Amino acid sequence: MTSVVLVVAFGLLGAFARVPFVALGPGPTYDTLGLEGDHPVISIEGHETYPTAGHLNMTTVSVTDQLSLFGALGLWVSGRYALAPRDVYFPPNKSEQQIEQENTEAFNDSQTTAETAALRFLGYPHKVLIGQIVKGSPADGTLEPGDRLLSANGKPITDATSLKDALAGAKPGDRAEIRYQRADQPEQVANVQLGTNTQPGGDPGQGFLGVAATERPDVPFDIKISLADVGGPSAGLMFTLAIIDKLTPGELNGGKFVAGTGEIDPAGNVGPIGGIPFKMIKAREAGATTFLVPADNCAEAKSQAPEGLQLARVANLVDATKALDALRNNQVPAPC
């Protein structure tokens, strides 16, 4: 009788007791050139677009939470999933709502950055805006997020780093003349006394304005990305390529099925991401024959690539377009 009770108790624990792990596995993949439901994933209004073909699929990783012991073991044994500490993905000091909001914000930021990178690559003009203002900083209450930065101390603001360059050498207590434009109002000038930089890693000897600059396209047309229930920044590269494809004649991918991943910055640099083995699995199952891999992920990707999936190494947007050029010409792109 005792052994039966122990077996039953173990069975109940295995079936219902939650383990402090999540399962990572292949997530959905979406064609950035195609439709999601009845709507294009990427639509452009106010500018001519060109026909596309084939696929440029972004890839995702699924995170399965609230696992029982038996459930976790079952997913792990399947070979398609890996277990990871739950605290890494659901920090105990944050609510699930906060985590979901952060993931959504990262995904939205990746869309905005993809637009900027694509249009900058194509030679469209851009503008520099205030993205964030440090609370309590000298700029707080004078400048606002969304203000367009025109010059600082007489030096033009042409990109996100030129504001820092314009204020280089300024000391706490110095005054900075910031020329800016708010919405459609006339240009304005703010004369701000710089403070002391107490931010982590900041130089206390450098005059502190408290503004983070960001770049945005300055174009008379709109780009809309419609994809719900996806989080994180790793779709940036594929969004960027799809925008370029829609705005230029011809088929960027030569009509082939290409998938990939990678975070992108406004200058077109491609950053590494997590979960690439799972993303490659899903891409290959969906029909992809080539996968664009961030350069810093190449070693991991090369060791775990599914059979039949060609890997192309990309460190930036130029690399990515060259890889697609090679495919279009039936050549082999630069490999991992």
Exposed e or buried b for every residue in 258-274, given b needs 16+ CB within 10 A?
A: bbbbbbbbbbbbbbbbe
Task: Read off φ and ψ for residue 103, nearest 5 degrees.
Answer: -65, -40
- The residues near 240 (Cβ < 8 Å, ≥ 6 apart) are 114, 117, 118, 121, 264, 268, 317, 320
Q: What is the DSSP letter of 30?
A: E
CA angle 7, 9, 13 (to 5 degrees): 115
* Structural contact between residues 260 and 282, judged by C-beta atoms closer than 8 angstroms: no
Which entry of 137, 234, 246, 282 is annotated as an active-site residue? 234
Paired with 192 in beta bridges are: 176
Q: Active-site residue 234, yes or no?
A: yes
Q: Active-site residue 94, yes or no?
A: no
* Structural contact between residues 206 and 197, judged by C-beta atoms closer than 8 angstroms: yes
Q: Which helix (H) or strand (E) holds 207?
A: strand 207-208
User: What is the distance between the alpha carbons of residues 278 and 127, in angstroms, rounded to a whole number?
Assistant: 37
* Structural contact between residues 22 and 67, judged by C-beta atoms closer than 8 angstroms: yes
Which residues are part of the catalytic machinery?
Answer: 234, 279
